[in-house]
Chains A and B, each alone.
Chain A
């Protein structure tokens, strides 16, 4: 197991290099260092002297991949790509073009992102599972049928509608919660109520269907029939057997999402004015701030890979048949 994790971590290195390389190529295909200088300086008159100074200051005066002027191995290493990538692997994200420390910025934005994503995730998990159990309990009844139809309907609506309607209904018409905004601590609860509610509701359809399918698969297994034959009440059966055995597919499906919670949600955060990580990448792409783009892509891939590894580990923990 330990060896396996080591192997996966080593395996992650070429992936990260690849991701970094592609990000580099894509970004510099879109923007040349001169463009970046112009965008950042933002002056009405940008003179060549200003551009040269900016590039020298930020280190963008080096060639991208191959430095003809350098000697020996430095031809490859004294380039923008190698210099910048090496810093990333040490998790030194550097400073953004707005002169802020990116690592610190990410840490600051992670909190607000998590304060939406985590409650949404947990409440959705509990709601979805309990509703799914309820449907399994009443399986085949009118309740089951109508709820399943409702679930498909919920799935068929674009998330944007929920946000727009939620804001109009709960904030504009009924004055229950602020339309947008964020605050730290208890003061902030009123701000996250609506986004969390909408997040949970929008995921209800697919969530309930998925869990229901998992539980239904369990309920036809022999051990459940045995348990029922022993005279256990239906609820006991559901909770002790079905839920417990359904945990494996649930966990493996859910674990992979957890790391990505840190990255926040772009749509939710920009509609509700949450100062989270969701819009950080796209804002940086639009502002041509390469330092942020590469840091965020790197962080995103690291979290993605962590998610994959966690999934594999959770397999072994919950299913003794699987060995790594």
Chain B
């Protein structure tokens, strides 16, 4: 029996070795030969329900499956919205209080009405929820216990169906958003805008509570939001209070993707939840892919949606191409039907080392660059540009980098008596500190140059950001010979003295100024980081005390305004300056809003706030630009933040991976990408030849060792036996 097992094992092993010329492939031989993308994720996606999912790692998967009405053009820069499941961009009309149509610029505008015209060829990916019996009723509307018992995954329900998307499905998604029990993260943001949402949310939340207590199913179809109207099968009308041009950006997010009522009711059936089958784990979308396997602990698999509507790879005019700075290679597929890749396999990779090594071995098609691997991959050129190292070039790897629409900053708590306040002296203290924080050094030491020193809250690529002399922060920088130069330490020291702390010593008390910096940093690299921080303050003679706390406590301190200095960051939701400037708007101050605000520096400047209210609803006109510039000047002068840096993303891509363009706003990018599986297969074979010699040596050593032991044992045995044998003879 044992022998049999062992020999089958050996046989299997021999077959496995002979079968594949590489031994270390994490994928099966057949999979490697197919048109499959291999990628990774570092933390398991928690939620795949578009109503509440709001994380980048979740959206990386979800956006391939769901389709909101709009999307960002994959190639165009600056970022431009285009219709995705609509025939055209939404039609906007402006109404006064009585509902009469008025001009956009009229000051009587009380409502804006968005009309969405749907494409007629959009269908859901096949799903059991749509399957129907011959008499037209839903096949799995009421799953019986017997089927349920034998059910492991959704794939066990054999019959599938599909149907066209209708305007009702989009309305259904917005209704789901209103149900408090579904925890939509943007409900409170949308309530002031969408007409009737507040009342509807209250009503439907109560209904949902009631239904849950009675264990009834919640069907949202009979309920209606006043401002969300289904005109006909193909037309949806959303009414917004006042003017809110940013609403279009929200329409490009998954929150507004259609949800079919069949699926909502299907998943509410008792027993499915316990099998981890819910809308949260098994999405139903119209996108280019559907989720074929969901195992957040190991891997996620997307497969091509057979019913995907026609869509073509974008083409650009020559002018657009130059504006976006895009190479010819990225346009090779222009006009080709999407998607190109048949399947995408995402594997969980918690540690950065295996991830990096597998990328180098060719088992991942693309990889970010961790700081550890940076020197190995990238060389900084003379002008600060980055190029690939020789070893990488030889492997045919290429480098793609882009500045992210994000900012990392160090904030002063403006409500703090020492570092906050708006008096001249207090402002000068902050300015002095701002000059002393050498961001350029920070970027070079801790980011390997993967960032740009920030001049204000608005990152590159967003309206309102200016390059060159016009864009510098005159409080911290000078413009010298066509370059920006950080002001000298002497300037900072002078400002500090004027602020009442000559040499870092308080003129009033005679004591050294001591400031507190709160952080949650506990990683292995953080000692160097904190040392660096301290040094920046020591340059001015200020003593910086680092208070490391856990994340909960840190957040609580920030919410209650019990901090002095802390670092924070912001990622754009949408490419509009409002999305950054509102971080400094007084109405959002965190201590005034019970912790819900996002102005965690508690910056409140009446002039800034007035201007903000004006630019909020403006179109991107020169007038808006002028006002934004004014706001930036005010903020730079007040220095509520030490404007940190805009991070740069770097991606390494293998030669067989095509059409990769960094697009920080679009998430549904998988459909544009292309793989050349044949080249990949060849390279994988080439780069992963197993070293057989060490194995042979080890086997030989083991055999020799055993032989030697056997002989030694025989010898000792003889030594024992022979005297006994003699005795026996005599």
Consider the complex of A and B and state whether they touch directly, i.e. have CB atoms less than 8 Å apart.
yes
Within the complex, the shortest CB–CB distance from A98 to chain B, in Å, comes to: 4
Cβ-defined contact, A172 with B357, below 8 A:
yes
- For B358, the closest partner residue in chain A by CB is A179
Contacts of B47 in A (CB 8 A): 98-99
Q: Which of B18-26, B139-147, B155-163, B326-334 contacts A (4 or more CB under 8 A)?
A: B18-26
Contact with B along A211-223 (1 / 0, CB 8 A): 0000000000000
Given contacts A47-B596, A174-B690, A175-B691, contact A180 B183 (CB under 8 A): no
Please give, as numbers and ranges, the residues of chain B lying within 8 Å of A271 by CB-CB distance. Answer: 351, 354
Interface pick from A59-67, A181-189, A240-248, A313-321: A181-189
In the complex, chain B residues whose CB is within 8 Å of the CB of A46: 185, 595-596
B713 touching A137 by the CB < 8 A rule? yes
Q: Give B contacts to A, CB under 8 Å.
A: 12-13, 16, 22-26, 28, 44, 46-47, 52, 54-55, 180-181, 183, 185-189, 205, 273-276, 278, 280-281, 295-298, 347-351, 353-354, 357-358, 361, 363, 550-552, 555-556, 573, 594-598, 688-691, 694-695, 709, 712-713, 716-717, 720, 724
Pick the contact of B24: A38, A105, A137, A178 (CB < 8 A). A178
A138 an interface residue at 8 Å Cβ cutoff? yes
19 contacts across the A-B interface (CB closer than 8 A): A42-B54, A43-B186, A46-B185, A46-B596, A49-B188, A57-B181, A101-B273, A167-B357, A174-B694, A178-B25, A178-B26, A178-B358, A179-B357, A179-B358, A180-B354, A190-B23, A271-B351, A272-B354, A275-B297
CA of A48 to CA of B551 in the docked complex: distance in angstroms?
19
Interface residue ranges of A138-197 to B (CB < 8 Å): 138, 143, 167, 171-183, 186-187, 189-191
B183 engages A190 (CB within 8 Å): no
Say whether, besides A42-B185, A49-B188, A179-B24, A275 and B354 are in contact (CB < 8 Å). Answer: no
Given contacts A30-B552, A47-B188, A179-B24, 19 further A-B contacts (CB under 8 A): A30-B550, A42-B55, A45-B596, A50-B188, A53-B205, A99-B278, A101-B275, A104-B276, A143-B712, A167-B353, A167-B354, A178-B26, A179-B361, A183-B28, A189-B12, A189-B13, A190-B24, A235-B713, A275-B295
Question: For chain A residues 235-263, which have a beta carbon within 8 Å of chain B?
Answer: 235
CA distance A99 to B181 in the complex (A): 13
Q: Is the CB of A50 within 8 A of B187?
A: yes
Q: Does A5 contact B (CB under 8 A)?
A: no
- Asked whether A173 and B185 contact (CB < 8 A) given A101-B274, A104-B276, A273-B347, the answer is no
Contact of B185 among A43, A97, A100, A187 (CB under 8 A): A43
Partner pick for B46 among A98, A177, A233, CB 8 A cutoff: A98
B350 touches A273 (CB 8 A): yes
A31 within 8 A of B: yes
User: Could you tell me the distance between the alpha carbons of A42 and B720 in the complex, rounded to whole angstroms?
Assistant: 75
Are B688 and A175 touching (Cβ within 8 A)? yes
Task: Write out the residue numbers on chain B whose beta carbons fall within 8 Å of the beta carbon of A112.
Answer: 298
- CB B593 to nearest CB in A, in angstroms, measures 9
A121 within 8 A of B: no
By the criterion CB–CB under 8 Å, are A100 and B281 in contact?
Answer: yes
User: B552 and A35: CB pair below 8 A?
Assistant: yes
A231 interfacial contact with B, CB 8 Å: yes
A81 to B109, CA, bound (A): 54
When the two chains form their complex, are residues B555 and A38 in contact, meaning their CB atoms are under 8 A apart? Answer: yes
The distance in angstroms between the C-alpha atoms of A242 and B357, with both chains bound, is 48
Q: Give min CB distance, A193 to chain B, whole Å.
A: 10
A65 to chain B, nearest CB (A): 21
Which A residues from 19 to 62 make CB contacts under 8 A with B? 30-32, 35, 38-39, 41-50, 53-54, 57
| B-contacting residues, A89-120, CB 8 Å | 95, 97-101, 104-105, 108-109, 112
Does A134 interact with chain B (Cβ within 8 Å)? yes
Contacts A44-B598, A99-B280, A172-B357; A181 near B347 (Cβ below 8 A): yes
| Contact of A54 with B183 in the complex, beta carbons under 8 Å | yes
* Cβ contacts under 8 Å, A235 to chain B: 713
User: How close is B324's CB to chain A, nearest CB, in angstroms?
Assistant: 28
A43/B54 in contact, CB under 8 A: yes
A97 to B44 CA separation, bound complex (whole angstroms): 13
CA A138 to CA B711, docked complex, whole Å: 12
B24, B278, B555: the one contacting A175 at CB < 8 Å is B24
Closest CB in chain A relative to B106 CB, distance in Å: 31
Name the A residues within 8 Å of B694 (CB-CB): 174
**Least Cβ–Cβ distance between A51 and chain B, in angstroms:** 9
Residues of A within 8 A of B55 (CB): 42
Q: Mark A293-323, 1 if CB is under 8 A from B, else 0.
A: 0000000000000000000000000000000
B23, B550, B694 — which one has the most chain A CB atoms within 10 A of its CB?
B23
Partner of B720, one of A171, A179, A234: A234
Q: Are A180 and B24 in contact (CB under 8 A)?
A: no
- Min CB–CB distance A197 → chain B (angstroms): 12
B274 — which chain A residues lie within 8 A by C-beta? 101, 104
Q: Is the CB of A53 within 8 A of B180?
A: yes
* B351–A273 touching, CB < 8 Å: yes
Q: Which B residues are CB-close (under 8 A) to A95?
A: 273
A10 to B168 Cα, complex, angstroms: 58
Contact across chains for A231 and B712 when beta carbons are under 8 A apart: no
Which of B181, B276, B555, B598 contacts A101 (CB under 8 A)?
A: B276
Name B189's contact: one of A45, A137, A143 (CB within 8 Å): A45
In Å, the complex CA distance between A186 and B19 comes to 14
Residues of A within 8 A of B717 (CB): 233-234
A45 to B596, CA, bound (A): 6
**Shortest Cβ distance from B179 into A: residue:** A53
How near does chain A come to B693, taking the closest CB pair, in angstroms?
9
Taking a contact as CB atoms under 8 Å apart, the answer to whether B46 and A175 are in contact is: no
Identify the closest chain A residue to B692 (Cβ).
A174
A187 proximity list for chain B (CB < 8 A): 28
Q: Do the beta carbons of A273 and B353 come within 8 Å of each other? A: no
CA distance A111 to B500 in the complex (A): 66
Q: Tell me if A83 is interfacial: C-beta within 8 Å of chain B.
A: no
Whether the Cβ atoms of A175 and B720 lie closer than 8 Å is: no
Task: Output the nearest chain A residue to B693 by Cβ-Cβ distance.
Answer: A174
B24, B25, B185, B351: most-surrounded residue (chain A CB, <10 A) = B24
CB closest chain-B residue, reference A270: B350
Residue of B nearest to A179 (CB): B354
Are A275 and B348 interface neighbours, CB within 8 A? yes
Q: How far is the CB of A27 from chain B (nearest CB, A)?
A: 12
Query: Would you give the 0/1 interface string for A273-291, flagging 1 where the beta carbon is closer than 8 Å to chain B?
Result: 1010001000000001000
- B28 and A171 form a contact (CB under 8 A): no
Q: Are B690 and A53 in contact (CB under 8 A)?
A: no
CB distance from A146 to the nearest CB of B (A): 13
Contact call A175/B594, Cβ cutoff below 8 A = no
Residues of A within 8 A of B556 (CB): 35
Instruction: Find the A residue at minimum CB distance from B55.
Output: A42
State how many angstroms separate the Cβ of B566 from the closest Cβ of chain A.
Answer: 17
Nearest CB of chain A from residue B659's CB, rounded to whole Å: 27
- Residue of B273, B351, B689 contacting most chain A CB atoms (<10 Å): B351
Q: Are A270 and B598 interface neighbours, CB within 8 A?
A: no
Q: Give chain A residues whose Cβ lies under 8 Å from the Cβ of B23.
A: 175-177, 190
Would A176 and B690 count as touching, CB distance under 8 A?
A: yes
Alpha-carbon gap, A144 to B645, bound state (A): 63
Shortest CB-to-CB span from A179 to chain B, Å, is 4
Q: Determine whether the beta carbon of B690 is less than 8 Å from that of A45.
A: no
B596 to chain A, nearest CB (A): 5
- Verify A45–B598 contact, CB threshold 8 A: yes
**A114 vs B22: C-alpha distance when bound (angstroms):** 27
CA distance A31 to B556 in the complex (A): 11
The answer to whether A186 and B12 touch across the interface, beta carbons within 8 angstroms, is: yes
Q: Is the CB of A57 within 8 A of B183?
A: yes
Chain A residues with CB under 8 A of B298: 112, 182, 273, 275
Which residues of B lie under 8 Å from residue A38 when comparing CB positions? 555
Bound complex: CA A143 to CA B709 (Å):
10
CB-CB nearest 7 A-B residue pairs: A43-B185, A275-B297, A98-B46, A180-B354, A275-B298, A181-B26, A53-B180
Provide the residues of chain B in CB contact with A30, threshold 8 Å. 550, 552
In the bound complex, residues from chain B placing their C-beta under 8 Å from that of A273 are: 298, 347-351, 354
A37 to B508, CA, bound (A): 45
Query: In the bound complex, how far is the Cα of B296 from the Cα of A49, in angstroms?
Result: 29
